[in-house]
């Protein structure tokens, strides 16, 4: 895919490289807007800080796993992600009585699409993670070791089983996980496939 990188892609790079000098620009430039939005809608400084941090960590993972390329200005993309995250958080807290102040920040179709991509990515990761936790303890441990170490020979050694058995068990656990994901309601709501 030949996607044209926007100049603001430096922020994505900075997340990947944990470059605090560049990352501080995100806070300097964009946080005030998000803070004021959160504060206007039943939140405080801590909430705003959490929202900003979780949004950035999500973008980091998306960049890491999917080579996410930012093709629009960071400002509106980031603001919209934070805003929607905060609205979700309010819903979770059961604050249905709260009237949401709508601001009409205009966004382009492209920005909307990028925001959606990130949101779908996050929903998918959350689904995978929650299903992983539904696996039995042995499966969880085996998969965690396998994915961390990668060499199945070493994994077998650590767990004190044969290589063949470790491989077979890994496939079984992954198969179980695949089915858990596939049969979940959340999976059917995801448009990613």
Partner 1 sequence: MNEERYIAFDNYINKELSGSELISFEEKLKSDSDFKQEFEIYKALETSLVSKFENEEQENALRKTLSDLGSKFIKSENSTKKKGKLISLINYKQLMVAASIALLIGFFLFNNGNPVYSDFSSHNTLELVVRSENNEALVKAQEAFNSRNYKEALEQLTTLTNSNTKDTEIELYKGICFLELNIYVEADVVFDKISGGNSVFVNTATWYKALSMLKQEQFEACKYVLQTIPESAEEYKQAKKLLRKL
Q: By CB under 8 A, is residue 158 in contact with partner 1?
A: no
Q: Using CB under 8 A, which of the segments 1-9, 82-90, 128-136, 155-163 binds partner 1? A: 128-136
Binding characters for partner 1, 42-61, by CB under 8 A (x = yes): ---x--xx--xx--xx--xx
Q: Which long-range contacts (CB under 8 A, 24 or more apart) does 66-69 make?
A: 66/121, 68/12, 68/117, 68/118, 68/121, 69/3, 69/5, 69/9, 69/12
Q: By CB under 8 A, is residue 156 in contact with partner 1?
A: no
Start-to-end C-alpha separation, the chain: 17
Q: Using CB under 8 A, which of the segments 2-10, 87-95, 127-135, 155-163 binds partner 1? A: 127-135
Q: Using CB under 8 A, which of the segments 2-10, 22-30, 89-97, 154-162 binds partner 1? A: 22-30
* Shortest distance in whole angstroms from residue 3 CB to partner 1: 19
List the one residue from 87, 119, 125, 157 that touches partner 1 (CB under 8 A).
Answer: 125
**Cα dihedral 167/168/174/179 (nearest 10):** 170
Taking a C-beta distance cutoff of 8 angstroms, is the pair 8, 74 a contact?
Answer: yes
Binding characters for partner 1, 59-98, by CB under 8 A (x = yes): -xx--xx-------x-xx----------------------
Nearest to 190 by CA among 110, 127, 113: 127
């Amino acid at each position: 895919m030949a996607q044209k990188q926007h100049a603001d892609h430096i922020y994505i790079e900075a997340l990947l490289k944990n470059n605090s000098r560049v990352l501080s620009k995100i806070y300097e430039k964009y946080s005030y807007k998000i803070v004021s939005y959160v504060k206007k809608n039943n939140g405080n400084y801590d909430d705003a800080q959490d929202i900003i941090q979780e949004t950035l960590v999500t973008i980091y993972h998306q960049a890491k796993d999917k080579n996410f390329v930012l093709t629009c200005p960071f400002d509106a993309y980031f603001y919209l992600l934070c805003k929607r995250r905060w609205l979700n958080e309010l819903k979770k807290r059961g604050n249905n009585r709260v009237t949401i102040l709508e601001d009409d920040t205009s966004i382009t179709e492209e920005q909307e699409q990028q925001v959606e991509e990130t949101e779908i990515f996050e929903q998918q990761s959350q689904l995978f993670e929650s299903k992983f936790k539904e696996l039995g303890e042995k499966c969880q441990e085996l998969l965690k070791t396998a994915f961390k170490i990668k060499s199945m020979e070493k994994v077998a050694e650590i767990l004190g089983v044969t290589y063949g058995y470790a491989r077979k068990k890994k496939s079984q656990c992954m198969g179980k996980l695949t089915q858990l994901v596939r049969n979940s309601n959340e999976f059917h709501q995801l448009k990613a496939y």
